A and B are shown apart, each in its own frame.
Chain A
Amino acid sequence: MHDARDAEDIRLLAANDHATLLATYYPVVLERCRLRLPDPDAWEVAQRVALRLLSELRRGKEYPVPFRVVVQMVTTWTIKEFFARPRTDPWPEELDLPAPDPYDDFETDHDLRLLFGDLPERARHVLELRYLEGYDHEEIARRLGIERNAVDQALHRGHIRLRELVGG
């Protein structure tokens, strides 16, 4: 569902504009690292992710999944690796991503709209306006022509959905 983003990433990949690609994703990579590590370590791990991606892009590596998914997978893997191994370990030569599986839920895991895909339509609209556009609760109620209470209920449903997904 992140069609526009994926199209832009494909364009940047074709143009070998690696810096713009990495600059696009670096803030979210760093923020995910910061969730689990203090700053010096978070910077180091985020930089490892950028280095990993830059190395692969320079080699012309082609990915079987959208680039945004690659970024998140490399980030997850690098954070795990940081905790699991001494920092001085050499990087593995290649990060082999699995071939895309039509039954795999990688796309769902990396697309907020799909995470909420099984909720009622109105709840999905509320969640999209809040978590993709950043509108405040009153503005969402006004835009959708619903009560503020209904906005809160939809957000509550979304929160329950997310808690289920993270096993909470």
Chain B
Amino acid sequence: MGDVALLFDEYAARWARGERPDAREYLARAGEGEVELRELLDRFLTASLPGEPSDDEIAAMQAWAAGQPPLLELRVRRGLRRAEVVDELVTRLGLAAGAREKVGAYYHRLETGLLDPRGVSGRVFEALGSLLAARVDELAAWRPPPAPAPAVYLRAPEPDLPVAAPTAGAPPEPRDEVDELFEGHAAT
């Protein structure tokens, strides 16, 4: 068999065994045969049988379908409080203890789908991935679906709340290492 055939054979057998080989690693190894291998793999994946989903995968999909963030669901399934994850994150990223509050705010946004994961450093995902035993970058990329049926709530008049004074004149705080880790890789 030629290189493309060997790569296809290895990939397809691993997929059939229930592994999740990264097709792009195989495409990168195919050299000039990349286009042919891509079409072969696509054909294979289109015709192959899917494996059984794990309990984590089903729970993540249930959460997403219910409008809940899959990453939050995973953390709860692992029995971890947000504060514990943040503490671990600070340690694993080698940050100073003083960065904890800021990391916590970023993590909260990431977990609830309010932070674009494209801007987040691979180091953050690596640390979270080893802590939660999952592909956290994939989970953080989920956006909530439309609700199944709109809930009808009786809206009470909102109380008068104080409004913060505009801060337009205040100079922006300088960016630090934590900003770079969570927003420094912003995609176009």
Contact = CB atoms under 8 A, between A and B. Distances in A.
Interface of A: 2, 5, 18-20, 22-28, 30-32, 34-36, 39-40, 43-44, 47, 50-51, 54-55, 58, 68, 72, 76, 109-112, 114-115, 130-136, 152, 155-156, 159, 162-163, 165-168
Contacts of A111: 47
Interface stretch (B53-61, B84-92, B169-177): B53-61
A59 B117 CA distance: 31
Nearest to B14: A134
B38 interface: yes
B48 A28 contact: yes
Nearest to B26: A35
A132 B16 contact: yes
Interface in B37-92: 38-53, 57-58, 60-62, 64-65
Interface stretch (B4-12, B104-112, B150-158): B4-12
Name, among A23, A26, A111, the residue most crowded by chain B CB atoms within 10 Å (CB to CB).
Answer: A23
A43 B14 CA distance: 22
A7 to B, nearest CB: 13
The 3 nearest A-B residue pairs measured at CB = A134-B17, A134-B16, A23-B53
A50 B124 CA distance: 26
23 contacts: A5-B50, A20-B58, A22-B65, A26-B61, A27-B50, A32-B46, A34-B22, A35-B38, A40-B118, A47-B143, A50-B145, A51-B145, A68-B50, A76-B46, A109-B46, A112-B49, A115-B47, A130-B9, A131-B16, A131-B48, A133-B16, A155-B1, A166-B40
Interface residues of B, number: 51
A112 B47 contact: yes
Nearest to B38: A35
A79 B49 CA distance: 20
A163 B40 contact: yes
Contacts of B47: 109-112, 114-115
Interface string B145-170: 11010000000000000000000000
Contacts of A18: 65
A168 B43 CA distance: 12
